[in-house]
Structure 1
Amino acid sequence: MTQNEDVLVSVRNGVGILTLNRPKAINSLNDAMVAGMSEALHAWADDDSVHTVLLTGAGERGLCAGGDVVALYHSAKAGGADARRFWFDEYLLNAYIGRYPKTYVALMDGIVMGGGVGVAAHGSVRVATDTTKMAMPEVGIGFIPDVGGTYLLSRAPGALGLHAALTGAPFSGADAIAMGFADHYVPHDQLADFAEAVVTDGVNKALAAYAIDPPASPLLAQRDWIDECYAGDTVADIVAALRAHGAGPAAEAADLIATRSPIALAVTLEAVRRAAKLETLEDVLCEEYRTSCASVKSHDFVEGIRAQLVDKDRNPQWDPASIAAVTPADVEAYFVPAEPDLTFQEENK
């Protein structure tokens, strides 16, 4: 297997261990990491001596903060070819994890955002902790939730997924379980012992020994106003309903949405609603590949990353500048076929 310092690959006692290893960047995914994970997973799928996969992240800050968006920014400015290639390979990996033939345990500790959700939340055993800080924050950089995120968001109870998608706000490990992004809850200070138990005793015994009932989900407790306010047809309708709800969390959500890219918001609303009607993760990833390829050509993707992560002035100049200025044609342009489109026909043979 190819050696790759950005993702460490090892096998212990029948457990294939993948460690995302860019701790200074909160293990943000690059091409080499996607390739390394994919190569290892395909090799282990046919290896009878490996029965379980364990995904973890190096360092103290989190499993994975997402894709390396600064690299995507530079690609976008140069025409986007590298970004499209990265997403193509990344989404193939996300889908493969979703249908992986062996137990796939993801330790979703600390920051798990964007691409981090993609390599973790489609696994078969997804473990959150009291430090989990999960999010699909793409609208803040003029991008659209991807990596199968709209598949999960569209299947969360009520409108919780739309709330997470349009605000981009982080949610807790308890929220992640309530929303269908995670399955089990292990206290952060016992996670290392849990991981060791997976290797020595197997997944079921490890869960029995260390998993506990999660605390109540704060988001689930707010479902009444969330379901009511996010029922609107358009982003403008949703924001108006949030404002009308009065002070408190609804007003805070409206304030947050007001800082996001208007076109990204409108496309995200449509993408989550389309994803709800698509049957498989692969179908959704194909649609997300189209919105990603459209994003890389957009003004807001480059401008959003510039403002948040390059110049860091936190003052993006969105175009269109307001939700009211976004047209249906603007939104529809994000869903046209990519050239080439993502397809899973070869993968599934």
Structure 2
Amino acid sequence: MTGADAPVLLETVGRAARLVLNRPRALNALNHAMVRRIDDALTAWEHDPAVETVVLTGAGERGLCAGGDIRAVHDDARDGDGTASAAFWRDEYRLNARIARYPKPYVAVMDGIVMGGGVGVSAHGGVRVVTERSRIAMPETGIGFVPDVGGTHLLGRAPGELGVHLALTGAQIGAGDAVLCGLADHYVPSASLPTFLAELADLPVGEAVARHEQPPPQGELAAARGWIDACYAAGTVEEIVRRLLAHGDPAAAEAAQTLLTRSPTALKVTLAALHRARRLGSLEEVLDQEYRVSCAALTSPDLVEGVRAQIVDKDRAPRWSPATLAEVADTDVERFFTPLGTREPGLAGPPSSHPPHQLHPPHQLHPATRLRPAP
């Protein structure tokens, strides 16, 4: 590996090239330097005929990646002019799109905690592996932010209204629910990972997966589809909360109470972003939209306040502004989607000459995975 202290370790063994996110004390949170290093490595390996597979893992015992370096975004929004965060997101979202289009098998091992930006560098891959330790979430509304890194693209295509529930509440899910929602493809027990990773150096990806894959454990969301689909199909967050409180299922009432602790503005923008993402045709178009939303969030008081409450001061008592859903006007939401003119990232250009790599042809994929159209 190149430098044991590097934030991303690079290694090639046999036919497989390895990316190891290497900030275990920060739960491998992504920063701009890491995004650039991953992108440079993907460029080199794309043109290296000796590399047949790329494999992403995380250092340490806790997980793949807890998300982006949101503390740096907080400081930039509070004390800077936002240009550093905007530059980071521009390169990060471009990387997310590249992973989805990568012409070689991209195997993401989603073991342990995988949140926010960690979802962006894994769930767009062609071969996404979860374990019994996987805890996957897009928890942005809890810090006054909105799911990004293509999260609204992925969650917008989950069965029924499951993605809306996950995006608004930020709920964590395990392996079975990740497969159900189309965020993962294969379940491999964590005890099998060392052997699985070793075999990727010598075997085709499909053969290595077949040796270790097992049926995923039963999740929780399938049994909750009744109240989730009925409540989250509402057109407004206010109506979603009303339906959740009136439904009668204790889990629905708990979800409503969770929503009432989240940023009202972030909730309304997230719901609008998901509905718009469903109408957009490609991952790149959704990432362009998410970039507009993220840049607008830099000027919203809730992002700075949410990170302060959850990460800086850790008092868990954010003071949202506006404080209630009723106070968030439609015009407040609409401004998050305003085009940025010359600052647009322009990811939705001509389609890539390389289709996204898939381990199996579509007719062999898990039913939830078939719901995930090629970006």
What residue number does 1:341 align with?
Answer: 344
Count residues with an aligned counterpart. Answer: 349
Is 1:322 the counterpart of 2:329? The answer is no
2:12 and 2:135 map into 1 onto residues whose CA distance is 28
What residue number does 1:163 align with?
Answer: 165
Where in structure 2 are there 5+ consecutive unaligned residues?
354-375
**% identical equivalent positions:** 54
Shift of 1:260: 0.4
What residue number does 2:255 align with?
Answer: 253
Shift of 1:348: 5.1
Q: Does the CA contact (< 8 Å) of 2:23 and 2:29 recur in 1?
A: yes
Larger deviation, residues 2-11 vs 94-103: 2-11
Is 1:186 the counterpart of 2:188? The answer is yes
2:324 and 2:317 map into 1 onto residues whose CA distance is 14
Q: Does the CA contact (< 8 Å) of 2:2 and 2:9 recur in 1?
A: no
What is the TM-score normalised by the length of structure 2? 0.91
What residue number does 1:31 align with?
Answer: 32
Counterpart of 1:237, as a letter, is E
Choose from 250, 269, 282 the match for 2:284. 282
What SS does the corresponding residue of 2:201 show, helix, strand or coil? helix
Q: Deviations over 1:274-319 (max 9, x none)?
A: 0011111101000000000000111000000000000111100000
Shift of 1:254: 0.5
What SS does the corresponding residue of 1:102 show, helix, strand or coil? coil
Larger deviation, residues 153-162 vs 331-340: 331-340
Shift of 1:202: 2.8
What residue number does 1:47 align with?
Answer: 48
Q: Deviations over 1:47-83 (max 9, x none)?
A: 1111100000000000000000001111111121110
Where in structure 1 are there 5+ consecutive unaligned residues?
none
1:194 and 1:260 map into 2 onto residues whose CA distance is 40
1:144 and 1:17 map into 2 onto residues whose CA distance is 30
1:238 and 1:134 map into 2 onto residues whose CA distance is 23
What residue number does 1:173 align with?
Answer: 175
Q: Does the CA contact (< 8 Å) of 1:27 and 1:64 recur in 2?
A: yes
Shift of 1:2: 8.5
2:104 and 2:291 map into 1 onto residues whose CA distance is 26
What residue number does 1:236 align with?
Answer: 238
What is the TM-score normalised by the length of structure 1? 0.97
Counterpart of 2:73, as a letter, is L
Q: Does the CA contact (< 8 Å) of 2:196 and 2:209 recur in 1?
A: yes
What SS does the corresponding residue of 1:55 show, helix, strand or coil? strand
Runs of 4 or more consecutive aligned structure 1 residues displaced over 4 Å after TM superposition: 1-4, 346-349
2:119 and 2:313 map into 1 onto residues whose CA distance is 26
1:209 and 1:348 map into 2 onto residues whose CA distance is 32
What residue number does 1:107 align with?
Answer: 109
Counterpart of 1:31, as a letter, is H
Q: Deviations over 1:58-113 (max 9, x none)?
A: 00000000000001111111121110000000000000001000000000000000
Q: Does the CA contact (< 8 Å) of 2:2 and 2:10 recur in 1?
A: no
Which fold has the larger relative contact order, with Cα–Cα distance below 8 Å and residues 6 or more apart in sequence?
A: 2
What residue number does 1:263 align with?
Answer: 265
Shift of 1:201: 2.3
Shift of 1:120: 0.2
1:188 and 1:85 map into 2 onto residues whose CA distance is 36
Q: Does the CA contact (< 8 Å) of 1:109 and 1:188 recur in 2?
A: yes
Counterpart of 2:28, as a letter, is N
Larger deviation, residues 19-28 vs 192-201: 192-201
Shift of 1:191: 1.4
Q: Does the CA contact (< 8 Å) of 2:15 and 2:202 recur in 1?
A: no
Counterpart of 1:341, as a letter, is E
